[in-house]
Structure 1
Amino acid sequence: MDTTNTVGLLQSELDTFSLWCRNNCLDLNITKTKEMERLEYALNCKRRVLILALRWANAHTYLLQEEPAAVSFLEELYGSVSNDSRILRGLKDLAVDLEKVVKLHSEEAKSIKRKTLIRQFSNGEERLQKKQPIKNQDDILLKVYCSDHTYTTIRIAVAATGREVTSAVTDKLGTTDELLLVHLSSAAEKQILKPNDVSVFSTLSINGRLFACPRDQLSGLTPLPDQEGPSAGSMSTFELMSSKDLAYQMTMFDWELFSCVHEHELLYHTFGRQSFRRTTANLDLFLRRFNQVQLWVVTEVCLCNQLSKRVQLLKKFIKIAAHCREFKNLNSFFAIIMGMSNPAVSRLSQTWEKLPTKFKKFYAEFESMMDPSRNHRTYRITVTKLEPPIIPFMPLLLKDMTFTHEGNKTFIDNMVNFEKMRIIANTIRQVRHCRSQPFNPDICQPNKNQAEVRGYVRKLCVIDNQRALTQLSYRLEPRRT
């Protein structure tokens, strides 16, 4: 055999085999690359879905426990993620986070049938306990009064409607009369509650009461004696307490109330809770606290008969307000300043004339922060300079959301107005930002009498009848002729 031909033939075969190997290896590499790209694409898609689900669960928090379908979805999702994480290691970190969420909500959902009896609105020692979020599945003991000032106590769901409250009272009294559910204020103003009103107990004014009566007894309803509020001030009690301690305990209490407010309650309040059949009790409590602190200032000043003592009171309130601002408690800070701006207090010219110049300057500076011009620009700039935790001026946030809602259509050409939703979401993000850091209880070194101060600030007794406060003011300093 010709060696040259043989070598040539072998070389040709070798070249052919090498070409075949290169082509097949290239195909294998391409296949392997495509498989890796497919796995990476699948991993990224799954991570995005999991991140969205975790954010959704974090936004809903304990409200998920009220929706069995939502808890079942999370459990099923976790089962799928557990299987996938064996192949896709990039899912393991999110699988751990999802497992924590599922365990928390599954255990809570199983115990949801055991209803908690809430007494947040009673006058007992429960007020001194740390506030916990009020949930839709909770019950409350509710006093409903009759026209003769007797009352019946019913146990009702937090999110019960006016119709359900009336039905429970009718059954308890064993009457066949058709009853109206009425909110009676301390000024004897009557508001007939609608059958579809939700959580009627949480919308009562500070000294307001619920009455149930036939229509022919409506005109004869009169306030209860305890609705009038205190007849004497409590300055002798709290004048010995440090202004800083008072502001600290007020801030602690406000933070508890603010922490209980769920972000969804802002939406229910804005869009109408009747549409959702959900309670806004935690938000109502927080707003009520603002009104209570405001009226506390007016009540104490108007019940103080001595001019020198009233001057001391104004100084005390200005000091408390300053410490509230130091603690970034803008809720109580504004409540105190608005209380001092109340006509029943601001008209006391003899009292204000005696106030030292230094305190007048402080008050003028504080009052300027309430300037509503340019959409409360001064206040908004102040807030942007603060780091959380912050207790915000909630009425203004709600005003922003209401203005956005009422000034813009929810649907345009049968499509969701996402620009409107974005603006509302930005307001809710402000609330989330304020609570993004935990409140540090060590911001103040309390004195020994903290239990006494704590008890005092959590059960402020006030007069909420503006007409009565104005009359008291004129008794202190009659109108000059």
Structure 2
Amino acid sequence: MYKRNGLMASVLVTSATPQGSSSSDSLEGQSCDYASKSYDAVVFDVLKVTPEEFASQITLMDIPVFKAIQPEELASCGWSKKEKHSLAPNVVAFTRRFNQVSFWVVREILTAQTLKIRAEILSHFVKIAKKLLELNNLHSLMSVVSALQSAPIFRLTKTWALLNRKDKTTFEKLDYLMSKEDNYKRTREYIRSLKMVPSIPYLVVTYMSSVICDYNDTGTIGNG
């Protein structure tokens, strides 16, 4: 499958190399044709994939990375040390997933060709964030919200002005839920309300805030 910034696109790339052919004229002519042709890069249109599908695929990709994290990686605060790649490799990988999704969101919005399309993509990501919440994937929900809060996106006042009232209200609610205020108080309360419901947590809230460790208080987690 073709991947862009760690996310799957519905493009299948195949390569066929003839082996063991005894025919002297089997692909000789075709090879010349291939060599003389040029191929355009495949452009992935984010708007052609539904928010439900995006949220589902992002979550499916998050699950194995999250499940690989070992308790000692968190308890030892290995993820915050210089040797983090050896002490907490799975936390580093999970952190990388967070940043990949966040950077992807920013890139898709900023590379839009027109103001109208940029607003449509912004609206699309608000809907994706809502679906991530419905799937209880707080990890990638925070990644998308952080991207939309980042300076390159938040300063796009003309783009935000085109967002409809429903999407604006949705984003405000998600922003409120994932706010850092009072050490993520509202996020922690929401997590407690889930009880035994399966979820993918935002590690800063569920684990890292329970131990005394230094971490980057930025739009991204760490340097993974």
- Give the alignment's TM-score, normalised by structure 1: 0.34
Matched, 1:343 2:155: no
Cα pair 1:268 1:276 within 8 Å, conserved: no
Change (3 A) 1:354 1:257: same
Distance 1:233 1:296 in 2: 17
Distance 1:402 1:333 in 2: 23
Matched, 1:326 2:153: no
Distance 1:271 1:240 in 2: 37
What are structure 2's unaligned runs of at least 5 residues?
Answer: 9-40, 215-219
Per-residue Cα deviation, 1:147-185 (whole angstroms, up to 9, x for no partner): xxxxxxxxxxxxxxxxxxxxxxxxxxxxxxxxxxxxxxx
Change (3 A) 1:341 1:275: closer
Secondary structure of 1:388's counterpart equals coil
Q: What residue is the counterpart of 2:204 in the other structure?
A: 395
Cα pair 2:187 2:205 within 8 Å, conserved: no
Cα pair 1:293 1:332 within 8 Å, conserved: yes
* Structure-to-structure mapping, 1:243-262, within 5 angstroms: 243-262=51-70
Residue identity in the other structure for 2:101: V
Secondary structure of 1:385's counterpart equals helix
The number of equivalent residue pairs is: 177
Structure showing greater radius of gyration is: 1
Q: Which of the pair has the greater relative contact order for Cα pairs under 8 Å at 6+ separation?
A: 2
What are structure 1's unaligned runs of at least 5 residues?
Answer: 1-122, 129-231, 407-463, 465-481
Distance 1:385 1:357 in 2: 28
Per-residue Cα deviation, 1:214-256 (whole angstroms, up to 9, x for no partner): xxxxxxxxxxxxxxxxxx996x433211210110011111111
Cα pair 2:98 2:139 within 8 Å, conserved: yes
Residue identity in the other structure for 1:353: A
Distance 2:203 2:79 in 1: 17
Instruction: Determine which of 110, 115, 123 is the counterpart of 1:307.
Output: 115
Distance 2:156 2:79 in 1: 41
Residue identity in the other structure for 1:380: R
Residue identity in the other structure for 1:244: E
What is the CA RMSD across the aligned residues, in angstroms? 2.9
Per-residue Cα deviation, 1:70-129 (whole angstroms, up to 9, x for no partner): xxxxxxxxxxxxxxxxxxxxxxxxxxxxxxxxxxxxxxxxxxxxxxxxxxxxx9xxx98x
Instruction: Determine which of 117, 124, 134 is the counterpart of 1:316.
Output: 124
Distance 2:171 2:148 in 1: 9
Instruction: Determine which of 151, 162, 177 is the counterpart of 1:354.
Output: 162
* Structure-to-structure mapping, 1:49-448, within 5 angstroms: 236-270=44-78, 278-386=86-194, 387-403=196-212
Residue identity in the other structure for 2:63: W
Q: What residue is the counterpart of 1:104 in the other structure?
A: none
Cα pair 1:233 1:299 within 8 Å, conserved: no
Per-residue Cα deviation, 1:332-384 (whole angstroms, up to 9, x for no partner): 11110110001100000000001101100001101101222222111111111
Cα pair 2:51 2:124 within 8 Å, conserved: yes
Distance 1:240 1:277 in 2: 37
Q: Give how far 1:258 is off.
A: 0.3
Distance 1:258 1:329 in 2: 11
Q: What residue is the counterpart of 1:444 in the other structure?
A: none
Distance 1:365 1:275 in 2: 38
Q: Give how far 1:273 is off.
A: 6.1
Residue identity in the other structure for 1:392: P
Distance 1:268 1:357 in 2: 45
Distance 1:292 1:249 in 2: 14
Secondary structure of 2:76's counterpart equals helix
Residue identity in the other structure for 1:394: L
Identical amino acids, percent of aligned pairs: 25
